[in-house]
Amino acid sequence: MNFKRIQFIFLAIFIAMDIMLFLAYNRSSVGDSTATGSNNILEEMRKDQISYSKPTTTKQEGYYFSGNNGEALRQAAPDLQQQNLRFNGAELVSQFKQPLKVTNGSVKQTLNKVVANPGIIAEGKDYRYSKQLSSSSEIIYVQQVEDQPVYSHFGQIRFDLDSRRRVIGYSQNYLQGIKTLKEASETISEERALTWLYQYNEIPNGAKISWAHMAYTRLLTARGQYVFLPTWVFAVKINSSSSVILKRVNAYNGEVIKTGENNQNSNANSEIFTLT
């Protein structure tokens, strides 16, 4: 009777041990066997408490192209009505004579009509509303090249909102003389770009990827022309702060593109937004 009881206790202990051993073995083998695959890296990101929505794995095509801020806006300026405008370098800065009222829900619809009107906005047909880049004080329209958005302050319309949510004016930059520099080539998928950004240690633990977009951004300036290439732009939100840092990954080779002349860093905000 007593011996049977001891056997029973032993059996229970061993079964528990088996389960433990099996779990430990399983976990370690899963972790190591796919160490090179991106799925495992995504898994690791989860462990680092980085939150993101499932990245796409499709590859696209994109171009290298060049363009600059030329005289197109200055030439169109005399035809623009209902506003007082001036130029700040190549940038057109304008104030509406009559502020536009926009309600929260209809910002896009109202401004789409304004942007489409060649009597108010020059070259408006080339711009699209960008929900992600817009904020509570600024509505941003980005220029489109080759059916892809350009995330650069060199090709943007920024509508300023006042405290009563009225559009009081805008500033605009326009990329012209666009020339593709090379035939279309395949880009990497969002998943590859995200895992590389992580592997370059550009995403701190606990951060959140708010959104990820394929967009053209500026790589360099040469011979008076800005050279753009397709990039994956990631909005990284760090837990402790409310601000969003934009990071961009070269969509051809996966390198993180650094911004700035002397003090290079991976924060692309100054390249994409105009910081005031």
Where along the sequence are the contacts to another protein (CB under 8 A)?
A: 4, 7-8, 10-11, 14-15, 17-18, 21-22, 24-25, 27-29, 31-32, 35, 41, 44, 63-64, 66, 179-185, 188, 196, 198-201, 219-220, 222-223, 225, 227, 229, 252-255
Q: How far is the CB of 156 from another protein (least distance, A)?
A: 21
Nearest to 207 by CA among 235, 234, 238: 238
Q: Which is nearer to another protein, 62 or 149 (CB)?
A: 62
Cβ partners under 8 Å of residue 194, min gap 6: 42, 52, 55, 209, 212, 232, 234
Write phi, then psi, for 28 (nearest 5 degrees).
-70, -35
214 or 244: CB nearest another protein: 214
Residue 86: CB minimum distance to another protein, A = 29
Can you read off the two tokens belonging to residue 222? 């040469």
| Calpha distance 229→252 (Å, rounded) | 8
In the complex, minimum distance from the CB of residue 36 to another protein, in angstroms, rounded to a whole number: 8
Q: Tell me the closest approach of the beta carbon of residue 184 to another protein, in angstroms.
A: 5
> Which residue blocks in the chain are alpha helix, DSSP H?
2-33, 38-47, 72-76, 107-116, 190-199, 269-272
Nearer to another protein, 27 or 131 (CB): 27
Which residue number, 211 or 252, has a Cβ lying nearer to another protein?
A: 252
User: Environment class of residue 252 by beta-carbon count within 10 Å: exposed (0-12), middle (13-18) or buried (19+)?
Assistant: middle
Q: Pick the closer one to another protein by CB: 164 or 223.
A: 223
